[in-house]
Amino acid sequence: MNLEPMQKAAVLIEALPYIQRFNRKIVVVKYGGSAMVDEELKKKVIQDVVLLKLVGFKPIIVHGGGKEISRWVGKVGMEAQFKNGLRVTDEPTMEIAEMVLNKVNKSLVATLNKLGSKSIGLCGIDGGLMTARAAEGCTGELVRVDSTILETFLAQDYTPVVAAVAQGADGGETVYSVSANLTAARLAVALKAEKLIHLVESTKLLRDPAAPEAPIPELGLSQVPAMIRSGVIPPEMALKANCSVEAVRSGVRSATLLDGSVPHAILLELLSDEGIGTMLTH
């Protein structure tokens, strides 16, 4: 990248109003998709999060296990099962999922620590953060979120990394796998976040057929259902879009669907005027 000094200065100055606006504000990033598989992209996501943290944002990362769980399920000779795009988690799968989620979680924490922002890895069991009831097998439906533990760590300047696992609402030992998309949305609401970001596989899917060169820059919440019906927002993206709608309806200022395969997508979205994702607001 060869920018003239004045262009470099312009890029930094464009970021200024957003650095001010997001000062001490919580931004929840649902990490997943291509950015999770590719080590280079992963590093760039973490660099973005560290930079945001160090200029005064309060970022939180939420993640699932993504393709890693299927890979390990395959490794032990079992077969990953999906129903309507969601993983079917029986007990043996859950055992693997817990191990994989822990591995993913600590690897993110280690990278954050290394790149300069002290981080804490948690799952929904820690501090009673999330409780769920059985939906199917070990897949749980999120019933309650208590964000106290996150507030405690945020106040101490940690960047929390949360794995989408919850404890059984009956107080039992059962551990449930919950939707990371919904977890991110519910945590954003509980923490009164300024922004919820979903890193998605590719926003190629979120394009206006009449202007397909770039993602639709902005959507009002009321536009979403019709776009899901017409297929402009395909089923796979609809889950994330609906979580975003729910979050914004419940008080999060805005939610953005962002193509995680673009290096530094988070910085480009948050610290520029135009952004590169699809932003959902009222």
Residues that bind ligand ARG (CB under 6 A): 18, 217-218, 256, 269-270, 272, 274-275, 277-279
CA atoms within 13 A on the CB side of 140: 25
- What φ, ψ does residue 251 adopt, rounded to 5°? 120, -10
Closest CB to ligand ARG among residues 105, 278: 278
Closest CB to ligand ARG among residues 20, 152: 20
Q: Which two tokens stand for residue 106?
A: 């600590």
CB of 255 to ligand ARG, least distance (A): 11
Closest CB to ligand ARG among residues 28, 96: 28
Closest CB to ligand ARG among residues 46, 196: 196
CB of 251 to ligand ARG, least distance (A): 16
**Residue 165, exposed/middle/buried by CB under 10 A (0-12, 13-18, 19+)?**
buried
CB of 214 to ligand ARG, least distance (A): 10
Q: CB nearest ligand ARG: which residue?
A: 275
Helix (H, G, I), strand (E, B) or coil at 154: helix
CA atoms within 13 A on the CB side of 156: 10
- DSSP 8-class letter at 126: G
CA atoms within 13 A on the CB side of 198: 32
Q: At a CB cut-off of 8 Å and minimum separation 6, what does 172 contact?
A: none
Alpha-carbon distance 188 to 26, whole Å? 8
Closest CB to ligand ARG among residues 46, 206: 206
CB of 45 to ligand ARG, least distance (A): 16
Closest CB to ligand ARG among residues 162, 270: 270
CB of 254 to ligand ARG, least distance (A): 6
Q: How far from chain centre, in Å, is Cα 170?
A: 27
CB of 265 to ligand ARG, least distance (A): 11
